Structure 1
């Protein structure tokens, strides 16, 4: 064993031959070795994953020449190391997938790179500021707020989802107001009067709902409430101040090249082939559907205005359709069975999962961790 790893002792069939039945499986094809690490030498509990990684590297190097032998480092230390590894990797993956997904959806919906990038830039700024504030609170409050990778991962998704939503509220209304008035400042003023209340109420709804998590006993869930609340609160401030300011400065350029002439659209399609694809779909839509549409929209209303009128004119029908969809989705919870097994949250190729499967195959149920009942 390497001197770099603070091993306190190793308990196995070699050190305790009399306990052979406890360390060897009945089929004699599986054996347990308990490696106890010295916590005093480690100094910090969070360094255990690094020590487990070193141990796994040593085991891998020593056994790679023997194809008939499988040695895995599992147990509590291995499980802890794998959980840390998964949560550390999930942050970057979640952030990348979220950004790409939001960007693609915004490009498809608004067909403008400016409108698509603006929410991502603002949310990205808020994300960095939120992480700094949350880290400062974590270090300053002791045990009050213990932030882990799970909290940051969930915060990332919530922040990008809500932040993009708030930005779209403003950009959609701003686009409508620009069609009515040439003054961008007046258009933004009317925009914020119209959607400011909706954005604020939406933000505080999430903040209040997430604050309920403070009542949880489990620390990982308890810290999730303030983490989400802080991030959404900062996003709300940015949505009511930074986003309107940026859009007001850019004016109609916020929706480039949608509101520009054919020359600009052609240049954009050449530079960005993505817009050429969108243009093809728009042409097909025009000739297949819009051109042959019987009821022409004489008032030049937007699609959301048409939907809003339909909802207002047929509230009962809307209620029935909406409730039917929600109830259909709710049926998925009937047979849902939550699991509290930490191994179930790990990938199947993790050492801790594979080692547990080997032990479960080799030993009878209850042999590894028997339930002991003491009667006084």
Structure 2
């Protein structure tokens, strides 16, 4: 199949390029705009208690609201607010409500801090558009208008809350995108220029990947988002840029290293490209298949963010794969080798590859020692996972502390009770739709107050009972910030007490931010038990089909799992000692490290099989595989790791953690696992690694098989 693809593309390069351009224009022109949602509650399905509580609140207390934005007032000199200041605050709050800002439905006065230095106003926005960009625009308008209204007074006005956090996250995301793009471009250009000494090869993948592949993939992602009703999130955009550049450059490198190798072996240019696609196409397609399946496994997640991220990345990698097998070879085949590799002059010379030849000899001769040492390195790093702790504060993780919304959040936590900014609500509802009647509200509130971690419980029968008398709302203020581990644990205890003490004929539901985080925690634990095993099983199936073996997939996936443990352990040791790692990180890390680690394993094991098919014994095949595939894996691993590492420059804690984790995982996958652990284990297992098939048998022995194409040996002879 790959021979046919290579032959068709190389013999008809112009038509291949034209077909790509026509398809790109059609896809981009018909794609809808990509929506965005940053509302944490949209992560969860309706079966979770926190979402059920939101539904109860909307039906029973339509006038009540969880503020989408909070306006924080204080004096510019930091002193306590005066009566004149309070009058100005009332005036500004009223004026903000009268401005009829789009999405803003109500602006009401909040409460004063205990020290008298702060006052708040609470902003209600349209619930139907929660988390969408238009609410971030409303937050910007609130900031501009409140600042203008406070001009000439002694007041300083700042706007925080979810809508303001979404605004600041957008701004931070633009910085992240720019840093990731510029950093990735520079790394790829410099590295490719050093490897191939050719400006054309250094620039070509970037032009194709950013100008065609990324644009087409983005349009297809928008189509999928609309068709399947997925949730989009602004924070994935920087990740998509890094993935398309990193993975796309990897596939380009796989092709170009093999193309140069075939030219050095004496193939005519077009035949060399056809042979390159034939030889490396299966490895690229299998590697991409493993990545795509890993990402699609996220569709089994219960979190909206991940169910969007998985298909988006799968689409991106699929488009990149098609480009790697068609567009890249078509364009390269139009350019004569002398022009393609210009001004470099050594592309025709077979290098000694002394470093990788030496590594190959060590792996071949001392396979047992290499397997033990490389395995121990990963195992020792994996011990760091014992200290893993999750953080559910996505806002703080994705927004710099200096942004206004974060300053407001920190101020509210210090000036008020830590949980006052986002209180927990306990809804006691009649199961028969009859008035609650004889319920002892005071006794119920007292039970809630006794829960460890609860600072206060308020209930006013006049204001906190709906007009039908069927639902009561108890406002529970926790002692801790809503996203903290202590708050999540406390809200679990609140749920237990609320449920156990609900009077006969009633049902208790606990809502609020801490309740949402509690449910997200449960959803993540579900995903660990579902997504991880499914992705691993599907990858093993791909490996089994590629290698015609039931033995190799087991130790290959085990080595990748060990690489994942080493990566998570190292990340915990560096970033996880304070508030912990962002809760999404292990899942994303698992998918990237497993999928991309499998990429390099596939490339190495495919080359090892190829060397064995040339008649070499297992240890010699491992040695030669390192010599030939080592430079490709080393260059690809360095570029991909470096592109992900650019995320660490974003100023975004989530992307910083992700950038380090994925970059480190790729380094482990390329330079420890694929270069040492996998080939040494395969050499030790010998022919048993390919059982029950005989994928390593010589091609001469294969009935009707093609004649072998012997590679150059170390002396330069075929």
Same fold (TM over 0.5): yes
In 2, Cα distance between the equivalents of 1:349 and 1:187? 55
In 2, Cα distance between the equivalents of 1:309 and 1:246? 37
Alignment CA distance shift 1:150-1:364 (3 Å) = closer
Does the 8 Å CA contact 1:115/1:255 hold for their aligned counterparts? yes
RMSD over equivalenced CA pairs, Å: 2.8
Name the residue aligned to 1:34.
Answer: 122
Deviations 1:23-63 (A, max 9, x none): 111111121111334669x8995311111101111223344
SS at match of 1:168: helix
Deviations 1:82-118 (A, max 9, x none): 3344345533432232222222222233332122112
Does the 8 Å CA contact 1:91/1:149 hold for their aligned counterparts? no
Name the residue aligned to 1:48.
Answer: 135
Displacement, 1:72? 1.2
Displacement, 1:200? 1.3
Alignment CA distance shift 1:138-1:300 (3 Å) = closer
- Map 1:70-149 → 2, pairs under 5 A: 70-124=156-210, 125-141=212-228, 143=229, 145-149=230-234
Alignment CA distance shift 1:154-1:368 (3 Å) = closer
In 2, Cα distance between the equivalents of 1:64 and 1:164? 53
SS at match of 1:160: helix
In 1, Cα distance between the equivalents of 2:339 and 2:275? 18
Displacement, 1:227? 0.8
Displacement, 1:127? 0.8
SS at match of 1:146: coil
Alignment CA distance shift 1:28-1:254 (3 Å) = same
Alignment CA distance shift 1:316-1:231 (3 Å) = same
Moved more, 124-133 or 245-254: 245-254
SS at match of 2:159: coil
Alignment CA distance shift 1:338-1:255 (3 Å) = farther
Deviations 1:132-152 (A, max 9, x none): 1111222333x2x33322333
Displacement, 1:164? 0.6
Displacement, 1:159? 1.8
Pick from 200, 205, 228 the counterpart of residue 290 of structure 2: 205
In 1, Cα distance between the equivalents of 2:254 and 2:124? 57
Residue 5 (str. 1) matches residue 86 (str. 2): no
Structure 2: gaps of 5 or more residues: 1-94, 427-447, 449-497, 504-718
Q: TM-score, normalised by structure 1?
A: 0.77
Pick from 142, 145, 158 the counterpart of residue 58 of structure 1: 145
Displacement, 1:131? 0.8
Pick from 309, 314, 336 the counterpart of residue 224 of structure 1: 309
Residue 234 (str. 1) matches residue 354 (str. 2): no
Deviations 1:276-317 (A, max 9, x none): xxxxxxxxxxxxxxxxxxxxxxx8533445544443333223
Displacement, 1:4? 5.3
Structure 1: gaps of 5 or more residues: 14-22, 262-298
Pick from 271, 280, 297 the counterpart of residue 186 of structure 1: 271
Alignment CA distance shift 1:180-1:37 (3 Å) = closer
In 2, Cα distance between the equivalents of 1:134 and 1:57? 34
Does the 8 Å CA contact 2:231/2:304 hold for their aligned counterparts? yes
Pick from 317, 322, 326 the counterpart of residue 369 of structure 2: 317
Does the 8 Å CA contact 1:30/1:358 hold for their aligned counterparts? no
Alignment CA distance shift 1:149-1:73 (3 Å) = same
Alignment CA distance shift 1:352-1:258 (3 Å) = same
Residue 362 (str. 1) matches residue 450 (str. 2): no
Q: How many residues align?
A: 326
Displacement, 1:249? 2.2
Does the 8 Å CA contact 1:214/1:226 hold for their aligned counterparts? yes
Pick from 350, 353, 359 the counterpart of residue 302 of structure 1: 353
Does the 8 Å CA contact 1:151/1:227 hold for their aligned counterparts? no
Alignment CA distance shift 1:88-1:195 (3 Å) = same
In 1, Cα distance between the equivalents of 2:201 and 2:380? 34
In 1, Cα distance between the equivalents of 2:384 and 2:193? 32
Q: More helix per residue: 1 or 2?
A: 1
In 2, Cα distance between the equivalents of 1:255 and 1:183? 15
Does the 8 Å CA contact 2:173/2:235 hold for their aligned counterparts? yes
SS at match of 2:106: strand
In 2, Cα distance between the equivalents of 1:331 and 1:103? 37
Displacement, 1:12? 1.7
Displacement, 1:186? 2.3
In 2, Cα distance between the equivalents of 1:367 and 1:134? 39
Displacement, 1:65? 5.6
Residue 159 (str. 1) matches residue 244 (str. 2): yes
In 2, Cα distance between the equivalents of 1:233 and 1:222? 17
Residue 341 (str. 1) matches residue 418 (str. 2): no
In 2, Cα distance between the equivalents of 1:185 and 1:241? 14
In 1, Cα distance between the equivalents of 2:386 and 2:195? 35
Does the 8 Å CA contact 1:151/1:223 hold for their aligned counterparts? no
Q: More strand per residue: 1 or 2?
A: 2
SS at match of 2:390: coil
SS at match of 2:369: helix
Residue 350 (str. 1) matches residue 403 (str. 2): yes
Does the 8 Å CA contact 1:206/1:232 hold for their aligned counterparts? yes
